[in-house]
């Protein structure tokens, strides 16, 4: 475990299937999960003219349905009863996520304004979107969602893909920040079981939220820690 140099941010190297059971039950207000999409195995990002131009070996999971069911159940245990979860997904992974065990609130669309056209596959539409399910743990309890009278929270974000050499799938921090700002209160704890380059931790820190981030790759945990160094802390709880 790494206690980040940033106060209230805990970064943990390990398989989330092992780490999640060690987190206190019902202690988390919001989960932002960006799991492997399992597209590398299907020839996605690695398939350009047979060349591997990005190492995405972490993106392969043998039994995706079973894996998804296990981590989502482990997340359910640590989430407060009125807690919510965003799960990033792709058209290939959506049918394999056991969403029916949750209460769906939205399917958010990230429209990539600079999506790379898939010229090597002229038999399909060029994918230009990713999606994030917005889910509630229970139907009955009121969940946190900040919205003003004239403040529409539209379910479509238009943002460019992040040009970032250190992690192949870094998400736009503006989208992650909006998710955290609307779905938590100051001082709440946000959990990211697939932290990657640390966007969730960075956004939590700058918005005055606590964060627990897990990644199986120690290099990504180091990267996330480095990224936190330049984030101004807002929290003095």
Ligand X SMILES: C[S@@+](CC[C@H](N)C(=O)[O-])C[C@H]1O[C@@H](n2cnc3c(N)ncnc32)[C@H](O)[C@@H]1O
Return the number of the residue (130 or 148) whose C-beta is nearest ligand X: 130
Identify which of residues 29 and 199 has a Cβ nearer to ligand X in the complex. Answer: 199
* Separation between Cα atoms, residue 28 and residue 181, nearest integer Å: 15
Identify the burial level of 99 via C-beta atoms within 10 angstroms of its C-beta, where 0-12 means exposed, 13-18 middle and 19 or more buried. middle
d(CA 179, CA 202): 13
C-alpha 188: how far from its chain's center?
17
Q: How far from the centroid of its chain's Cα atoms is residue 233's Cα?
A: 21
The neighbour count for residue 115, using CB atoms within 10 Å, is 14
Question: Which residue's Cβ lies closest to ligand X?
Answer: 196
- Applying CB under 6 A, the residues found at the interface with ligand X are 15-17, 34, 36, 58, 167, 169-171, 193-194, 196-197, 199, 214-217, 220
At its nearest, how many Å lie between ligand X and the CB of residue 134? Answer: 16
Least distance (Å) between residue 187 CB and ligand X: 23
Tell me the closest approach of the beta carbon of residue 62 to ligand X, in angstroms.
12
CB nearer to ligand X: pick between 13 and 82: 13
CA dist 45 and 56 (Å) reads 8
**Least distance CB 189 / ligand X (angstroms):** 18
Q: Which is nearer to ligand X, 62 or 236 (CB)?
A: 62
């Amino acid at each position: 475990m790494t206690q980040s140099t940033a106060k209230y941010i805990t970064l943990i190297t390990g398989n989330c299937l092992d780490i999640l059971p060690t987190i206190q039950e019902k202690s988390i207000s919001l989960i932002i999960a960006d799991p492997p999409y399992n597209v590398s195995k299907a020839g996605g990002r690695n398939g350009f003219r047979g060349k591997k131009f990005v190492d995405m070996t972490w993106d392969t999971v043998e039994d995706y349905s079973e894996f998804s069911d296990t981590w989502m159940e482990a997340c359910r245990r640590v989430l407060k009863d009125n807690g919510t979860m965003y799960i990033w997904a792709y058209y290939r992974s959506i049918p394999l996520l056991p969403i029916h065990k949750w209460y769906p609130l939205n399917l958010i669309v990230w429209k990539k304004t600079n999506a790379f056209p898939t010229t090597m596959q002229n038999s399909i539409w060029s994918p230009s979107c990713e999606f994030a399910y917005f889910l509630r743990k229970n139907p009955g309890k009121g969940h946190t969602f900040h919205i003003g009278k004239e403040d529409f929270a539209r379910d479509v974000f238009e943002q460019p893909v992040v040009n970032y050499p250190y992690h192949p799938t870094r998400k736009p921090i503006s989208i992650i920040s909006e998710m955290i700002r609307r779905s938590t209160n100051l001082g709440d704890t946000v959990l990211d079981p697939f932290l990657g380059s640390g966007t969730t931790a960075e956004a939590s820190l700058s918005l005055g939220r606590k964060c627990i981030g897990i990644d199986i790759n120690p290099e990504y945990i180091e990267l996330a820690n480095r990224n936190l160094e330049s984030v101004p802390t807002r929290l003095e709880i």
